[in-house]
Structure 1
């Protein structure tokens, strides 16, 4: 099982990341403050879509998991939300989360994030938050809601 999850993770990275970096020079790195707590990244693949993800720790019910998430996000028109400064872009997407704990528990989950990304005027910073269904497909299977809150610096 561990070998299958690792193979799926490597295949996903190889199929998405290189094309993303070549397609657009929109790369951002930062931190995520809600599960997983750790590093956050974003590769823009067009004006309206991006590959995002996080690498960090999930702390729940006395267990600690190392987790890697990867999402495909589609951004809606930022002009649809009227604000005085900055840009607020709603988005939705689909993604995978792979987790492992020290006692060799692995998990594979599907994420369906719905969120907002706020770009601060005249700075390379962006803030984001999302929420959505989180469906674990490995044993024990489950359904819950997942959320994310973080920041990134655009290069």
Structure 2
């Protein structure tokens, strides 16, 4: 399964570069929900016709904590379909977790009740803007690295946003 995700990520990245024509999003700001490994609220605001800033406030049941993520994303039309866009980007996060659930099982002890995790995030996604009702639906893969644990992880999610 990990190999499939890695191959999908590389393929999507290649397709994103191939379809990197200047995109027109059709909306300025979107607010909605993100459901996946880390679920929560998402806000995306376009600063240019093909570039957006996305903020995600999510909770992780696995680590029992809250994470704030900020991403810079580039958008490009996908498959010559009106309203369908690829996006990719980079950013970072800060998370606040329960230390007893944050560390891996192979750690023999943990002294911290609370852990602050800081890290680097990437994102690769596909989004469709439904013009008749002002909503977007989409899916993304968000690899990230947490600095305290030194581990690399994958997050994937579906999202729905009201746009204006």
TM-score by length of 1: 0.73
Work out whether residues 36 and 155 of structure 2, in 8 Å CA contact, stay in contact via their aligned partners in 1.
Answer: no
For the pair 1:105 / 2:115, whether they are aligned, the reply is yes
In structure 1, the residue matched to 2:158 is 149
Q: How many residues align?
A: 124
Distance 1:118 1:152, change over 3 A: same
Q: Which residue of the partner structure matches residue 81 of structure 1? A: 79
SS of equivalent residue, structure 2 residue 84: strand
Tell me the equivalent position of 1:18. Answer: none
Secondary structure of 1:106's counterpart equals strand
| 1:42-81 equivalent positions in 2, closer than 5 A | 42-60=44-62, 63-76=63-76, 78=77, 80-81=78-79
Off by >3 Å, runs of 4+ in structure 1: none
State the match for 1:14 in structure 2.
Answer: none
**8 Å CA contact retained: 1:55, 1:68:** yes
1 or 2 for the larger relative contact order (CA 8 Å, sep ≥6)?
2
Higher Cα Rg, which structure: 2
Which one of 113, 137, 144 corresponds to residue 134 of structure 1? Answer: 144
